[in-house]
Amino acid sequence: MYETYWNLEEKPFRNTTDPKYFFYAETHEEAYIRLLYSVTEAKGLMLLLGDGGCGKTFLCKSFFREMTGQGYQVALVENPDLTPMEFLQKVACEYGIEYQGKSKVELLKDIETLVIQNAEQGSTTILIVDEAQLIQNKKTLEEIRLLLNFETPERFPLSIILSARPDFRQTLRQVPSLKERVSLQHRIQHLNREETGEYICYRMDKAGCSREIFTANAVKEIHNFSGGIPRQINHLCDLVLLLGYGDSSIVVDVPLVKKSIEDLRGVGSGSRKY
């Protein structure tokens, strides 16, 4: 709706996983380096932590695409609140293994065969479990531990990445046999004020913006409200551009940001032209 007004080719602050919009702040670069290291050095189990909206899913999907493009066999489980059997079926399905009508023993054997075959060809098999904090069944977590038992004399042939909110650590304490297998971890931090400004400029640029629209003080206000959480930045900036279009604003300044914050909080009112 507001793209033409701001001379944009598309909306810059959609909460999607379009890779061209992924902004690598220092914390995301560090996370990616550790993800890559966990695979290339066959570290077994890595824990990726972060508050909701910090970019864990975006990073997991970007890593999934990158590793798949490099020829790795990767399974991505996005909704892991499953029974142990359902979890194994989902993993098998993601690897292209026929799973219907098979017992747990047969599924484990088929997955192990695939993993070992890939290892013999010099490749690590990757399993990414996003939103791992949703797993309620501790036996499903035990099943993940069992998958880590696949091994060759030289290395761990299966690299597992558990992406979750920070409170997942408490769940892991209840499954010590899995917790002790974590060899690498990283917690994604919120963006600082400077990175928030860079994030906004990056997304605006990718959407075709040819001038500076957000003032420095507006960025400061956006950071204060969002806490540097990308998802919250997106929500606010998208509304800011919409209200700015409605008010025929030339730039995004502090009053416009404050008005948008009030709108998000449900206290804004008034007639608009859209």
**Structural domains of the chain ordered from first start:** 26-188 (3.40.50.300), 192-264 (1.10.8.60)
Give SS3 for 232: helix
In this predicted structure, what is the pLDDT of residue 197? 98
Segment 80-107, tens digit of pLDDT: 999 999 999 999 999 999 999 999 999 9
- CA distance readout (Å), 16 to 53, 187, 241: 11, 21, 18
Q: Tell me, what DSSP letter sits at residue 135? A: -
- CA distance readout (Å), 173 to 56, 169, 181: 21, 6, 12
Residues of the chain with pLDDT under 50: 270-271, 274
Q: CB-hemisphere CA count at 13 Å for 115?
A: 27
In this predicted structure, what is the pLDDT of residue 267? 64
Report the largest interatomic distance among the alpha carbons of the chain, rounded to a whole angstrom: 70
pTM equals 0.91
H-type alpha helices, the chain: 26-40, 56-69, 84-94, 104-120, 138-147, 168-173, 176-179, 193-206, 216-226, 230-246, 254-264
Query: Tokens standing for 24?
Result: 């690598």
In this predicted structure, what is the pLDDT of residue 172? 94
